[in-house]
Structure 1
Amino acid sequence: MGGMETNISRRNLIKGGAAFAAAATLLGASACSPRKDAENAPAAKSDLPADLRASDFKYSVVETDPITSFASEETYDIVVVGAGCAGVPAVLTAVEEGATVACLQKEATVAANGNGCSFVVKEASNLSGIARWRSDWAKLSDWRINPALFQYYVDYAEEAVPWVISRGIEEGITPIEFLTDSSIRYDDGSLVAVCDATQESNQSLMVALANRAEQNGAKFYYETPCVQLVQSEDGTVTGAIGKTKDGKYIKLNASKAVILAAGDYMNNDSMVDRNLHDSFMYPRVLENHTGDGHILGILAGGRIAPLGHARQIHSNYIGPFMFFPFLALSLEGKRFCNETVGMSSLNIPMSYTTKPEDAGRHFRLFDSKTEGFYPSSLGIPPVALVGEGSAWMDPEIVVSGNTLEELCENAGIPVDEGVASIKRYNEMCAQGRDDDFGVPGSHLVAMDTPPYYCIKGDVGMSAINAGVMVDDRYRVIDEDSNPIPGLYAAGVDAGNPCGGINWSMPGGFSNSHIFTAGRYTVIHALTGDMKPKNPSGFDDLKEYFAGEDGSYMWESPDCATAISVW
């Protein structure tokens, strides 16, 4: 998913960890240029833009036949499509900016995911530190990151994320952890100061912010997905059409802009098959994410981001366990990878050894050593995480055994194969070299101290981070890279900030670029500028982020000197 420099405070490791335990003319299926005549029927699905297929519509709510009869018609300054981690900040920002705003939401309520966020404190950083930090992350994705969208995060998340957090605190939703551990002081004096905050749940946060917006005049149309956009003769997007649960159409005119914030396409099998075919190997952990915003944007004349569409990978052992290179076994009890691969990339080596019906399941094993244990940045033995009272000792996930045979039996590992694999691994540990998968000798730790433990792991895809192409203000752009007037995209509907096979970006970047684009697309649509009326910032939260001595990790001699990927 991303990286973080040990974003777990020691005081929360053993008994806490909740931070871890827990994105006019009716537009039919036209080609890339908009129709010029409101009476023209939409093109046949065989004439779809190159980025779409007729089969995409089997899974999406988007409609292509012209809609001309409406149960109601209303006009707002801003119309938002989707009420999640981008859509809700967009709606609340519009309210605070004094604009009228409505939101079309497919679900019966707000639908938000994740819990972490981050931002760079530019005043405490230096330019070389930010540039080197960005380059470190770019290298992880074969230099495919979008520099403009990364810089957008650097420039505007510093205001947007504290704004989201502060508004949440005002509504009684306070993050459960504030950290500055992801800051990096490089060997040449370059410095990037990073703040991370973790909510118990973004769902609770976004529900609270949506309620706040609604109480201040915003209109939410729940169970009313956007099924078409409205476009004028010159191509300007001027509104959106929603379909109520009883089949009636409502037309929402937008005098300033429509913001697409409808989530990813992981549940649109047609789009997944075309763009991320190997993702069928793993569970897709969200529901009803059918690429509606992508399709609407493409039909308006936009284009989908080029491959790769970075997928976010999570396992059920997210938390401190993900920092250890534990012995990994397949469902057949066989070792299958170099265990130093990060949790966020584990799907890649697994793709050669697992089947879709395996649902990403595997096993991670460790023993009870208190000295000479697996190296990690945590500085504690993994056995310390599974003692009495630990939040991590979930009997459904972590099992133990006093012998290797008992461990395999309790975990559901084929006993003969599992024990043989462990013994072979121990042989590699004894010789200090890994003949099978090339793990460095420093990371080889024998399974020889009972009791033994097994994490019954799984791997699933939690997001696809790629949408329609946008410019440096998140305006949807056409095939000539010109912005489509009146149309923005935010969250995973927008651009391709990472561009890699998997999401390898700073910890918290995903939610933060989503919050930030949701907020600043509205500000730009209303003002043509990037200056909110009621700005927030690090100073509003600095007491939360300060350590017990009032300092921050970027000021400490213990500040990290390199990024860490998990």
Structure 2
Amino acid sequence: MNSRENNNHKEDIQTTDVVVIGAGASGTAAALAAKQQGVNVILLEKTATQMGAGTLAGGMFAADSKQQKEKHQQVDKAWLYKKYMEVSGGFMNTRLVRKIIDEAGATVDWLNDNGALMKLTDAGVGGAYAHIGDPATLHGYQEGGSVALKKLLNAYEKSGGKAYFSTPAKELIYDEKGQITGVLAEKEDGTQLKISSKAVIIATGGFGGNAKMLKQYIGTPFTMGEISQNKGDGIKMAWKAGAAERGINVTQYFWAKFSDTEMNKIVPIVGEKWWDLTNFTRYPNLRVNMDGKRFSDETDVTLYSVHGAELHMQPHETEFVIVDSGMLAKIAKSGTAAIESQYAKWKNHPFFYMEFNEPNDTKELLKQENTPYDYTKLLDPLVGTTQTVFKANSLKALAKNMGVNESNFVNSVEKYNDAIDSGKDLEYFSNTSRLIKVSTPPYYAVKFVARNLGTLGGVRINENIQAVDENDQPIKGLYVSGADAGGMYGKAYVDFEGGTLGFAYTSGRLAGINAGQYIKSLK
């Protein structure tokens, strides 16, 4: 294939062994791992700096890292495998899943060796109360995802790797046999960059920022992903080069949030304290949907991927968390620990890691949950000024203010309260001892919408992270890692801590190693 020329711009022609498209967690890991194989590498990133979900995440999973071995906290690989099987119902690439589980521990060790500091934490430390007591899978960022990626990039560049930012890849170059021979890209000044290479690793982060693709493959309603620049570029390039599709309908609904429209109203009124409102997502209060109907076991709300998926399935991907004044009075007197202490386990054994590049410190979190907090001072200013917080002295009036069916809502509250009184939840089989009764007016409702971290598939790969065609035959020289790669999941994200980042880093590292070895086999 001949490169295209633009009469208005120069053409920069370069030659290398491996091109990596995307400088997020997976792509940066791939570039460094390939360079460490002793081959020449060029890393392309369309944004001006390293971005992506890997900069926001808290950490990655592993089964047998050095830290887990030293603390005798290895995770049973059968347990991890069964978690993947449960969430996929068998719709997963079993060989790929086993490979990632086997290699995740070595990836954590490799990251630490290269400056991206990770430390083993207990399950549930990050607020996922429902995970307390599970095996410790999460290795948390000690300096945050942004710092970790910068350190990996520094290690890559010090080893002689080239990196071009504000340089989006446009298409793959391949010969008449379909073998990859390079990449066409565009530099920031408009120069056409043609790179001849023997291998390409695609790691562009999925298509969470592409509304057209989300509508087509996820369906309506959908929520835009958290990383707006992820448009599916790499997926479409791989498909065009002959790669088959897999996992294009998988997305990571995780936790809940306020809509962008509502955030624009909330912040001018309460400022940074808006974040305190998200505490209501963590406790087993009654939830109803836009029809005024209860729809889940509320004690599972900190199984964030599970509840995120439940929320996605509701009308307009919306829920109302119902809070009564009895709960608020307890918190005003003794803090949220009066409702449910979620950090007491770590009073004498604290943990620290960074998520969203902010500290997650159990010492501080334990202190916060035991600090009295008058939430009415935060809630009341938002009543009537936003469509986020609603208040009324009766259930019927609250339903009217919320805009939900009055009969459905009152019936939902009555059944919910009856379940608490009887100790039997005949609707969703929850542990009623944890449910929080709705009995003391005035009542509040806080509205949240589904939060989509991003998509989790699109290109069919094998356990060697090679893109494959519809006959499962590898496309020579083409590797796809991270959120562009399909096969790890069935329909939703696996429910243990660190799964997505674990796949991103591990698949990226393996892609880099395998691409480097492929290059050396040609010499």
Greater Cα shift, 192-201 or 482-491: 192-201
Once the 2 structures are TM-superposed, how far is the Cα of residue 89 of structure 1 from its aligned partner?
A: 1.1
Alignment match, 1:313 = 254
The one-letter amino acid of 1:157's match is A
Contact 2:83 2:494 in 1 (8 A): no
Point out the structure with the larger helix share.
2
Q: Secondary structure at the match of 1:468?
A: strand
The answer as to 2:494 corresponding to 1:516 is: no
Give the 5 Å matches for 1:469-508.
Answer: 469-500=460-491, 502-508=492-498
The one-letter amino acid of 2:437's match is A
Alignment match, 1:327 = 286
**Which residue, 178, 188, 198 being the options, matches 2:120?**
178
Give the 5 Å matches for 1:523-538.
Answer: 523-528=513-518
Alignment match, 2:321 = 363
Once the 2 structures are TM-superposed, how far is the Cα of residue 301 of structure 1 from its aligned partner?
A: 0.5
Once the 2 structures are TM-superposed, how far is the Cα of residue 307 of structure 1 from its aligned partner?
A: 5.6
Alignment match, 1:290 = 231
Contact 2:284 2:299 in 1 (8 A): yes
**Which residue, 95, 98, 101 being the options, matches 2:41?**
101
Partner Cα separation in structure 1 for residue 420 and residue 315 of structure 2? 26
Alignment match, 2:110 = 163
The one-letter amino acid of 2:219's match is H
1:203-244 CA distances to partner (integer Å, 9 max, x unpaired)?
221123213322332211111111011112221101101012
Give the 5 Å matches for 1:113-512.
Answer: 113=53, 114-121=57-64, 129-168=76-115, 174-175=117-118, 178-181=120-123, 194=137, 196-255=139-198, 257-278=199-220, 280-306=221-247, 308-316=249-257, 324-330=283-289, 335-341=294-300, 342-351=303-312, 353-355=314-316, 360=318, 362-363=320-321, 365=323, 367=327, 368=330, 390=368, 399-400=375-376, 412-415=389-392, 416-417=394-395, 418=398, 424=414, 425-434=416-425, 437-447=428-438, 457-500=448-491, 502-512=492-502
Partner Cα separation in structure 2 for residue 335 and residue 348 of structure 1? 15
Structure-2 change in CA distance of 1:158 and 1:321 (3 Å):
farther
1:8-39 CA distances to partner (integer Å, 9 max, x unpaired)?
xxxxxxxxxxxxxxxxx26xxxxxxxxxxxxx
Once the 2 structures are TM-superposed, how far is the Cα of residue 249 of structure 1 from its aligned partner?
A: 1.0
The one-letter amino acid of 2:170's match is V
Partner Cα separation in structure 1 for residue 428 and residue 377 of structure 2? 26
The one-letter amino acid of 1:78's match is V
Alignment match, 1:4 = none
Contact 2:305 2:495 in 1 (8 A): no
Structure-2 change in CA distance of 1:121 and 1:408 (3 Å):
same
Partner Cα separation in structure 2 for residue 133 and residue 221 of structure 1? 37
Contact 2:253 2:453 in 1 (8 A): yes
TM-score (norm 2): 0.72
Structure-2 change in CA distance of 1:107 and 1:352 (3 Å):
closer
Q: Secondary structure at the match of 1:346?
A: helix
Contact 1:130 1:192 in 2 (8 A): no
Once the 2 structures are TM-superposed, how far is the Cα of residue 394 of structure 1 from its aligned partner?
A: 13
Structure-2 change in CA distance of 1:488 and 1:349 (3 Å):
closer
Once the 2 structures are TM-superposed, how far is the Cα of residue 287 of structure 1 from its aligned partner?
A: 0.6
Structure-2 change in CA distance of 1:305 and 1:438 (3 Å):
same
1:386-442 CA distances to partner (integer Å, 9 max, x unpaired)?
9996289999xx93479x999988972242444875963434322323355543434
Once the 2 structures are TM-superposed, how far is the Cα of residue 308 of structure 1 from its aligned partner?
A: 4.2
RMSD (Å), alpha carbons: 4.3
Partner Cα separation in structure 2 for residue 193 and residue 129 of structure 1? 10
Partner Cα separation in structure 2 for residue 267 and residue 323 of structure 1? 27
Once the 2 structures are TM-superposed, how far is the Cα of residue 373 of structure 1 from its aligned partner?
A: 7.2
Alignment match, 2:348 = none
Structure 2 portions without partners, runs of 5+: 125-133, 258-274, 346-361, 400-408
**Which residue, 84, 90, 109 being the options, matches 2:30?**
90
Greater Cα shift, 507-516 or 333-342: 333-342
Greater Cα shift, 424-433 or 287-296: 424-433
TM-score (norm 1): 0.67
Alignment match, 1:7 = none
Structure-2 change in CA distance of 1:429 and 1:529 (3 Å):
farther
Q: Secondary structure at the match of 2:78?
A: helix
The one-letter amino acid of 1:266's match is G
Greater Cα shift, 266-275 or 421-430: 421-430
Once the 2 structures are TM-superposed, how far is the Cα of residue 130 of structure 1 from its aligned partner?
A: 1.7
Contact 1:118 1:508 in 2 (8 A): yes
Greater Cα shift, 194-203 or 364-373: 364-373
Contact 1:323 1:376 in 2 (8 A): no
1:35-79 CA distances to partner (integer Å, 9 max, x unpaired)?
xxxxxxxxxxxxxxxxxxxxxxxxxxxxxxx62566111111111
Partner Cα separation in structure 2 for residue 287 and residue 507 of structure 1? 24
Structure 1 portions without partners, runs of 5+: 1-24, 27-65, 183-190, 531-566
Structure-2 change in CA distance of 1:220 and 1:372 (3 Å):
closer
Once the 2 structures are TM-superposed, how far is the Cα of residue 467 of structure 1 from its aligned partner?
A: 2.4
The one-letter amino acid of 2:306's match is S
1:290-318 CA distances to partner (integer Å, 9 max, x unpaired)?
10110010011001105642424233589
Partner Cα separation in structure 2 for residue 84 and residue 394 of structure 1? 40
The one-letter amino acid of 1:230's match is I
Q: Secondary structure at the match of 1:446?
A: coil
